[in-house]
Structure 1
């Protein structure tokens, strides 16, 4: 009953000094709002990165080979055998040969951002594509160096109005027959130009011929189980070391490893920004202590009367601590509401400011509860000193106070 009466009394005192209370709570409001928005942004960026990596395949590895002047080379057949010998860790592999030539349709329309890659017959499924029309690349296309290709949804719609199979398209001065069209990975047309739906895949043997190269220096490897990413990476590295006997001759990295590094970077940035935002909470606590000291001075006579009528020190202490806690709690609640409002507004604004980007700013329940708890805790801690001062006032001196 004492707690309820004290809480009601605290609300009355706060209400009687509305403007002063709002100014006092401002530091708490700004701090809680900033923490919620920053944590929400961090969560949104982490989720967005995870979704991006999921579309590329978290279970994939990229292998780059430089050779460092070695007389021996890791051939395609050797890399295939590496996968075959490590089936418990590796499930598929494809050479990846990029062609830098411009893409032209009928000598008129030029598609400057279209990526052209030489791959094998397994790459389409490895990259989580599905065939929407026609067929994918086949083993005989690779073996016989056929000038055929599979194109992405964006190019099929933009260049051929959705009827691409059987048509020809030029990559530089080389003409390719389109044998298949891929299903789109993105539903947003603005995301497709230059993206994963704006691609051309040709037999890697043809890509080597166009680039006038005889050795493949980049591979995409799929792990059998991403939980064994370290073992899968070690299997590939050991096989390459056996060829080159030089760790600087190649580089192997997994998408899951890259994802973890990016998440750690985001978490570190969010933590630093949250600590900076926490300074506002500290400033808010100092403001609460300052205003409570003023309140004690203003209500000295009231405190004297209450103590003269038998109020104990603990009762006076409890009253002022509850008032300080209530003030900071109200500031925390307003900060939470403002934080959620700004988060929702930012979520809607991001696609408008950066077309093609979509980040859901969601602070999560834990961040909200922690920030609210800290705001209340700061009010109680910084309100304790003025409350103790009020509780220790001499009732006779307090009654004489003017």
Structure 2
């Protein structure tokens, strides 16, 4: 018997039982589609989350801060030593001070982080609007969306606005001998005469601002509260981190957070895949049941084919 004849005879049941054929194919399609959809959903959620919290620079960056238990400090000599560690590409220190900001006759207590132009890039911070701090415009500052709400503005409205500040200088910054006449030694306050222009906004619930360290050059800093250390590549990060820990610093990295997130998403993807497999198994059981019923309906035809000396292979194909 020709193959074309075998094919026509074996597929005639699909035409005779169109509803059964359609529902069987639909069930299997739903099962396979469920697996593909759920696994893709897991990968999509993972990629979306990681894109929001990471950049290529931030994945190579270590967050370094003093450790009280080891009495380590981040002063200029310490930063120079860290910079000389093998595998270190860049280092960006920062310190925090309390500030009182004023705009349009409104005043608010804020937390100011004084940074250089490299800090936000290494931190992987993405702006909701505006642009990052740069050395071409040292008086440009970045505020959080919470600060914008405090002054009754949205993220776009506050861009370009000017603010004046009075900074409270902690004793940890050391003596301020080079401060201008606006500095009151009894209150340790520093109020620059010039105003700062808002050039960027970040999404945050904290009442925080970011100021270029070049605009506060009058403040003498003896110790920094934290530093971003960028490594040359991810292979050398572990050795740099180990060296910093041995020197008594507290060290963390965004890559550690990413690794933890990947572990969680690995479990989530397995769970989603199991749900899809369950749907596929149910569909397979339904298909097997349909095929069994179809075979039982054709027992007489199979008997006739065998009695007419049809080969087992031809009988199997026709069935």
Q: TM-score, normalised by structure 1?
A: 0.56
Q: Does 1:63 align with 2:64?
A: yes
8 Å Cα contact 2:141/2:210 also seen in 1: yes
The change in CA–CA distance for 1:66 and 1:158 in structure 2 (over 3 A counts) is same
Task: Give runs of aligned pairs for residues 7-46 of structure 1, distance below 5 A.
Answer: 7-46=7-46
Do the aligned partners of 1:117 and 1:204 also contact (CA within 8 Å) in 2? no
Counterpart of 2:259? 260
The answer to whether the 8 A contact 2:94-2:116 is kept is yes
CA deviations 1:177-204 (Å, max 9, x no partner) are 55565568xxxxxxx54389x9621367
- Which residue is equivalent to 1:220? 228
Q: Distance in 2 between matches of 1:223 and 1:11?
A: 65
Q: Say whether the 8 Å CA contact 1:134–1:179 is kept in structure 2.
A: no
SS in structure 2 opposite 1:74? Answer: coil
1:54 aligned residue: 55
Mapping 1:66-145, distance limit 5 Å = 66-68=67-69, 70=70, 72-97=71-96, 105-108=103-106, 116-120=112-116, 122-124=118-120, 126-127=122-123, 135-137=136-138
Q: Residue 150 in 1 paired to residue 141 in 2?
A: yes
Q: Report the structure, 1 or 2, having the larger strand content.
A: 2
Q: Is the 8 A contact 2:42 2:272 kept in 1?
A: no
Alignment partner, residue 296 of structure 1: 295
Mapping 1:198-347, distance limit 5 Å: 200-202=209-211, 216-240=224-248, 251-320=250-319
**What is the alpha-carbon root mean square deviation over aligned residues?**
4.2
Q: 3-state DSSP class of the match of 1:314?
A: helix
Partner deviation per Cα, 1:210-246 (whole Å, 9 max, x = no partner): 9xx9864433221222332212212222222xxxxxx
Q: 1:296 to 1:66 in 2, by over 3 A?
A: same
Seen in structure 2, the aligned counterparts of structure 1 residues 136 and 228 have a Cα distance that, compared at 3 Å, is: farther
Matched, 1:194 2:170: no
Retained in 2: the 8 A contact 1:64–1:251? Answer: yes
Residue 2 of structure 1, CA deviation = 6.2
Are the structure 2 counterparts of residues 115 and 27 from structure 1 closer, same or farther at C-alpha, using a change threshold of 3 Å? farther
After superposition, the Cα gap between the structure-2 partners of 1:151 and 1:54, relative to the gap in structure 1 and judged at 3 Å, is: same
Deviation at 1:7, TM superposition (A): 4.8
Long gaps (5+) in structure 2: 126-130, 169-189
Q: Which runs of 5+ in 1 are unaligned?
A: 138-147, 185-191, 241-249, 321-402
Offset from partner CA, 1:71-94 (integer Å, 9 cap, x none):
x33232244123222153342232
User: Is contact 1:119–1:204 with CA below 8 Å preserved after alignment?
Assistant: yes
| Contact 1:61 1:220 (8 Å CA) reproduced | yes
TM-score by length of 2: 0.69
Greater share of helix: 1
SS in 2 for 1:227: coil
Offset at 1:302? 1.2
Distance 1:134 1:94, change over 3 A: closer
Q: How far apart, in 1, do the equivalents of 2:43 and 2:80 lie?
A: 41
Q: Does the 8 Å contact 2:93/2:227 carry over to 1?
A: yes
Contact 1:10 1:319 in 2 (8 A): yes
Contact 2:55 2:124 in 1 (8 A): no
Q: Displacement of 1:311 after TM fit? A: 1.9
Aligned length: 282
Equivalent residue for 2:160?
163
Counterparts of 2:114 and 2:2 in 1: how far apart (Å)?
A: 78
